[in-house]
Structure 1
Amino acid sequence: MSINVVYFARYREALGRDGEALEGAFATLEQVRQALLARGGKYEVLAEQNLMCARNQDLCKLDEPLVEGDEVAFFPPVTGG
């Protein structure tokens, strides 16, 4: 399965990239996140409890199922005042 992963805000800054294509057997966004976390180092930023995510530009939870060609986005929570 091929998916496109996009990073926003401070995740993009910490990882030094806007996104990447991933190949693998990913049933959910959580499996994608765990694969990225397994890289260690700077990818540990994705271990945050309050991480937000989207599938094909729709907000979702980490248990969201994935299919071939999906776009997955990770971003920190947005606060307003």
Structure 2
Amino acid sequence: MGAVAKALGWQTWKVIASARHRDGEHGRAVGSLADATTIGSITSMPTVTIRLFAGAREAAGVGSTQTEASSVAEALDWAMATFGDGFTAVLAASRVWLNGEPALEGAQLSAGDEIAVLPPVSGG
């Protein structure tokens, strides 16, 4: 279990567990590492964008950032380490999406993927 799951619990994080992978309908293998580039014994991870909205943006101090990660959990582990406890607290109440669909903890990332952190919206 990754640090994200330990710190937040996937139920608290409100991830919608779905058997359908974000690209499953296009024939990509779920959990495939096919997008990682291997040169000899060195594997490079894809560069992905993390977009932060509302309270997540305020806690991090940026609206978006990029990182190299092989999974959603790894990207969010990096974000929590980079942006600290305030961001981690906001993430605990947020929904996380990958390329416009609910993210799965173990979802593998491809170069150019976009993770969105969407805190709850309140109105008055």
Same fold (TM over 0.5): yes
Q: Which residue of 1 aligns with 2:51?
A: 6
Q: Which residue of 2 aligns with 1:68?
A: 111
In the alignment, the residues of structure 1 paired with residue 105 and residue 118 of structure 2 have an alpha-carbon distance, to the nearest angstrom, of 12
* Higher Cα radius of gyration: 2
- What's the RMSD between the two structures over aligned residues? 2.2
When the two structures are superposed, what TM-score results if normalisation uses the length of structure 1?
Answer: 0.74
In the alignment, the residues of structure 2 paired with residue 43 and residue 61 of structure 1 have an alpha-carbon distance, to the nearest angstrom, of 22
**Percent of residue pairs identical:** 22
Please, which runs of 5 or more residues in structure 2 have no aligned partner? Answer: 1-45
Aligned length: 77
When the two structures are superposed, what TM-score results if normalisation uses the length of structure 2?
Answer: 0.52
In the alignment, the residues of structure 2 paired with residue 11 and residue 67 of structure 1 have an alpha-carbon distance, to the nearest angstrom, of 23
Bigger relative CO (Cα 8 Å, ≥ 6 apart): 1
CA pair 65-77 structure 1, distance change in 2 beyond 3 A: farther
